[in-house]
Amino acid sequence: ESYPSIEQIVRDDLLNAVANKIEDVAIEGGASNEPTGITQTSGIGSVAIGTNGGAPTWAMVTDLVKEVEVDNAALNAATLGFITNPKAKSKMANTVRVSSTDSHMILNDPYDSIYGYRLGISTNVPSDLTKGSGSALSAIIFGDYSQLILGIFGGGPDVLVDPYTNSASGSVRIVVHQEVDVAVRHAQSFAACLDMTTR
């Protein structure tokens, strides 16, 4: 049996952290020194549930798709899909489509597609949004992900091992630098709902 070296474990953890941050800013970036992500891009379609947010509805799902389709912005059928977070996934799997007597949930088995499109799940899709008096609201995004452009400059990440900064405590500081930019090529290729309650 072979075990990975500590160096390989640390290297993998660092690269996973960088990949996680890139996904985070691609979805919601917009803070200082961050690229602008999908939800912060001006001109994407918007589907609102209520003044203070609200439970997911089947109309929310179909309206997100409609927002992209009416703009004729569904450019590549193979790259169309939804993305949301685990809290929203659970809520949609427990919410009926039409009425209390409906036997179909918004999200049904096998739980990896909705309304005929793939569904991706990521904790980087926000679940801490606010609207009116609503808080801890979640996002769901529909779009053509071939229109999300990711630019990575200078090849792979630069890793700097700094044994000096924390030398008094006997620890080593590792810094990772990666130049990245994100852009939505056509804002109309995406639509988001940013006020879904999941409790």
The DSSP code for 51 is: B
Rounded average pLDDT over 87-102 = 91
Establish how many alpha carbons lie within 13 A of residue 117's alpha carbon, considering only the half-sphere containing its beta carbon. Answer: 24
Residue 58 structure tokens: 């089947």
Q: How confident is the model at residue 77 (pLDDT cuts 50, 70, 90)?
A: confident
Q: How far is CA 25 from CA 110, 167, 180, in A?
A: 29, 33, 10
The DSSP code for 187 is: G
Q: How confident is the model at residue 181 (pLDDT cuts 50, 70, 90)?
A: very high
With pLDDT > 70 as the criterion, what percentage of the chain qualifies?
Answer: 98
Residue 1 has pLDDT above 70, yes or no: no
pLDDT at site 186:
93
Closest to 46 measured CA to CA, from 153, 140, 135 = 140
**How would you classify residue 75: left for phi > 0, otherwise alpha for psi between -120 and 50, otherwise beta?**
alpha
